[in-house]
A = this chain, B = another copy of it.
Amino acid sequence: MTDTDPKTACVHAYIAAFEAQDAAAAAALFADDATVEDPFGSEAVCGRDAIHAFYARAMQSGARLALSGPVRLAGDAAAFPFTATVAAAPGGMILDIIDVFRFGADGKIVAMQAFWGPGNVRTG
C-alpha cells in the first residue's frame, strides 16, 4: 500500500469527510448510481442523492472514524478495518467495522459494503 494509490487516497478522504462532518464531501466520492449496504445484508441505499442523505444522517451522531489496520487493495476493491467512535453516546460507543469499497474506472466508489453487527458495538 502507498498513500498515493488513488483507492487508498479515497479511503483517507472518506475518513476526513467524517472528521469535517461534510456529507457532501463523502457523497462526492461515489458514482451517480452507487450503492451503499451499511450494514451488509440490509437494504441498499442507491444513488448519490440518497447516499448524501444517508451520510448526513450518519454524521448527526458526531461519529469519528479511525483506521485500525492498513488498507488492503485487491482487484477493483479496497478493504479496511476501522473504528467509529460516537463520543456523544452514553458512556461513549465504539463500533468495529470493516468496509469494502469497489471502484469504477473513473475512481469513484460504485459499491460500498460495511460489515458490522450488534456484537461489534462496545463502550470505550
Contacts and interface: CB of A to CB of B under 8 A. Distances in A.
Interface stretch (A22-30, A49-57, A109-117): A109-117
Of the four ranges (under 10, 10 to 19, 20 to 34, 35 or more), the interface on chain A belongs to: 20 to 34
A69 B41 contact: no
- How many copies the complex holds: the figure is 2
Interface string A77-109: 111110000000000000011101000000000
Given A72-B96, A96-B70, A100-B100, A1 B79 contact: no
Contacts of A31: none
Contact of A2 (B1, B100, B119): B119
19 contacts: A1-B119, A1-B120, A5-B119, A39-B74, A40-B75, A41-B77, A42-B75, A69-B81, A70-B96, A72-B96, A72-B115, A72-B116, A72-B117, A73-B116, A74-B116, A79-B100, A80-B98, A81-B81, A100-B115
